[in-house]
Structure 1
């Protein structure tokens, strides 16, 4: 687990130097992100359209550029790309892939306007003029993401969270938030519910709610001694931006309802922890029934059109890549053969979909007797927390092998496994039989999908990841994959290969 000094071990920030009991207000941690994004989007359409139309002598260049820019801003706004809390994130609905989807929507909108107004510019000219739009918007989003990620690693641009829950739930929530820094939440205090148990996560306890619901007859203002006044007092002392409530045996139903009234009537943001973890937003939908709020969870994609499309795309793309990369394969084979004695290709048994073993192919990057030398290197294993065996400077790796591993060129023969249907282009890392033998029931779930030539582990640090981090990524992928998500991973793989971080 990685932590920045600005955050403590448990994700709790230092005590604020400012105190007081003034009104609680929501803060925007990135006030300049939306206007910068809007300006970049407008310029990325207006200037290229104006320049191309002027050079091509198309009619009314300023008007065409203005309409195109306004249409682009409208499409992006309707798809919530300028929301201050989500700008700079690369989740399901962000990134270059989402920008390309917006661009296709822009083309459709402009086609309708063209038909309605009788606009007569050449289609090729219009497409050329609009081509820079997704590139500019994507680059702007990536730049904001890098800037925001750097600030969050320094515990800046964050939302100050007060957790309200039973002590065991407080500890679990704080540990979950502290495990990663790719989010905006930093716990600055807790209000425990119930008389038993202590908060052991390190978050300062700012108050405690009784185990029994106290009487409440005056809804506004909140009377002293009630849940609402206790939570609001703690939020003011810690200058919280958000109250994060975890329902439980002692905090549910009418009691939770009254607490939500008190918090929101004071102008403070409120969020409720559902208890679900590692579930993609696209799988969740809300509904109401008899006054109850229902959270519906769609099942993972195991059957249907998307898995079938994934299989077709995998095999066809891998077959095409094998043909196009044939000269590179021949060159790499010659280099490996000249560098050290042994076979050019290395074959190894791996475990695939639903526990089926298969033979995985790679360019050989180690000496021929690498497996015989492994027992003597067990003490140097850097992955002690799980079944993986990795050494940063493995003495068995050849000179050319180090280059092949850093550039991931040694993985290219696995395209054969993809064509044969044993692997996918995108998926979890294919494990060894001895690793699977040590799996528990949770880890076995990663075998519910085919292993991949690349995957979330490839674009998130590879061998630098701990066993728990890699397993969490694989489990999230197994339950939440989609074809568009796979395309996004493939696009990010190129950057990961160029960077070479964690490849050894």
Structure 2
């Protein structure tokens, strides 16, 4: 990127602990404030992360770079429209009209990006919502151009939209992607972060802190805790994170915010507070420029299944049921057939080369058939290129003690003596799995889904893990893009169950794109 967003931090938030505790406002009518549970040395209190400062500057930089991308896209479209190549002269009247049209188009385009809040602090830096808003604003902009040109009978060539629209979408999304890469690097260095004061039960605070630590690119870090119902501990130990300082209890959250210097309050177990105190707390945090997050207390549920409904003047979260049948299954099957056919056609030279390499370097057939358990517990023969010696199944009992996967359900070792040299290369780049697209066409597998289990694995399933059989197993899945063989059995099951509960076509496309990156990197494959 030619320009990098500036980073700024305010001065530390000065605070007198004893004076603040005596004057701290209550969280609701009839609720007397309690003093902070621990004394805090203001010289060692964390610095305020000044999230609003870097977010404002980052948003301004995005605005400037977006406008530059839009001018380039519209300029190239105007060149196509008027038929003028670079270096050729253009009629002065046409040139002035072109500049005016480009300026108006960019102004309207930029306005829609603002209307769609594509630079909102809640969407920039992580997640797919930012890209969705950019694409929606761009499509709306060019849709408006098409409608206006039709109604007013304006002479706007189709080539103008045909060039500017794809260039604009690719340019803006590419600009946001590069900006995200920059932000991710800064966040891993401890910059451009949002400091969170987690309030609730110790176990829920620990779970939140661990989740944030596993995803540093999200930019959230727990810098303090407020324990519900009081706490005499000065710190909270979190596995994989370290020590989280305890600044008080949930009866005096506002004072704890001032001491900790947090930008965001996260209520991890808010049921005991009640709606009245949560509302009063949100009012009191307005003048502090502090955001309030409330955990719904549900895990492994994706956003498409959550709907906020106002029932009897009460905001309630509706949790939609997972969809395994009907229109969604039909769309998934159509996607599988189309993708599998395209993949087999495009990869046919690679398939032939792999088959020849396997046959030429070891005895036995090029393809290997393995019995796996599919949809609703039905067995099928999964096809893949043979990567081991012919007697690999008979040798399993000899090396079963070398298993490196915890739990004993899966069997994986990094240096498996049964794998051939060619097989090791095929496994590293997942070429051995390409014949499984034939299983997809047969209806036995899906492009994206849970890992196809062996019969002996299914025999050890409990009722929870057996839910993996509600959908077709996949060639790739969340387990593939989250570490592949590096995952433990518990992590693999958790990812598969999350996918089953929340799958959708858009998620499948994202997983396929991430799979390409994971395969090319060869990480976790053995």
- TM class, shorter-length: 0.7 to 0.9
Separation of aligned partners in 1, 2:107 and 2:452: 47
Separation of aligned partners in 2, 1:34 and 1:336: 54
CA 1:200–1:500: 2 relative to 1, 3 Å: closer
Separation of aligned partners in 2, 1:36 and 1:61: 27
1:208 aligns with 2:233: no
Q: What residue is the counterpart of 1:64 in the other structure? A: 101
Structure 1: gaps of 5 or more residues:
1-14, 210-226
Q: What residue is the counterpart of 2:17 in the other structure? A: none
The normalised TM-score by structure 2 is 0.80
Separation of aligned partners in 1, 2:141 and 2:125: 22
Structure 2: gaps of 5 or more residues:
1-39, 84-93
Separation of aligned partners in 1, 2:407 and 2:61: 44
Separation of aligned partners in 2, 1:169 and 1:447: 30
- 1:457-489: CA deviations, max 9, x gaps? 223332233333333322222111111222222
Q: What residue is the counterpart of 1:160 in the other structure? A: 195
* Alignment match of 1:111 (pick from 146, 153, 167): 146
Q: CA deviation at 1:52?
A: 4.2
CA 1:310–1:22: 2 relative to 1, 3 Å: closer
Q: CA deviation at 1:239?
A: 0.8
* Alignment match of 2:498 (pick from 462, 471, 476): 476
1:139 aligns with 2:174: yes
Separation of aligned partners in 2, 1:385 and 1:182: 30
Q: CA deviation at 1:94?
A: 4.2
* Secondary structure class of the residue paired with 2:381: strand
Q: What residue is the counterpart of 1:7 in the other structure? A: none
Separation of aligned partners in 2, 1:29 and 1:373: 59
Q: What residue is the counterpart of 2:124 in the other structure? A: 87
* Alignment match of 2:115 (pick from 78, 87, 90): 78
Q: CA deviation at 1:322?
A: 3.0
Q: CA deviation at 1:159?
A: 1.4
- Structure 1 range deviating more: 15-24 or 28-37: 15-24
- Structure 1 range deviating more: 17-26 or 419-428: 17-26
* Secondary structure class of the residue paired with 2:451: coil
Q: CA deviation at 1:417?
A: 0.7
Separation of aligned partners in 2, 1:324 and 1:22: 55
* Alignment match of 1:40 (pick from 52, 65, 72): 65
* Secondary structure class of the residue paired with 2:428: helix
Q: What residue is the counterpart of 2:422 in the other structure? A: 400
Q: CA deviation at 1:492?
A: 2.7
- Structure 1 range deviating more: 56-65 or 154-163: 56-65
Separation of aligned partners in 1, 2:49 and 2:163: 50
User: Alignment RMSD, CA only?
Assistant: 3.0
The normalised TM-score by structure 1 is 0.83
Q: What residue is the counterpart of 1:459 in the other structure? A: 481
Q: What residue is the counterpart of 1:213 in the other structure? A: none
CA 1:320–1:252: 2 relative to 1, 3 Å: same
* Alignment match of 1:341 (pick from 363, 375, 381): 363
1:307 aligns with 2:333: no
1:377 aligns with 2:399: yes
1:279 aligns with 2:279: no
Q: State the number of aligned residues.
A: 469
Separation of aligned partners in 1, 2:51 and 2:180: 22
Conserved 8 A contact 1:45-1:130: no
- 1:154-303 maps to which residues of 2 (within 5 A)? 154-194=189-229, 200-201=237-238, 202-209=243-250, 227=251, 230-247=252-269, 250-264=272-286, 266-303=288-325
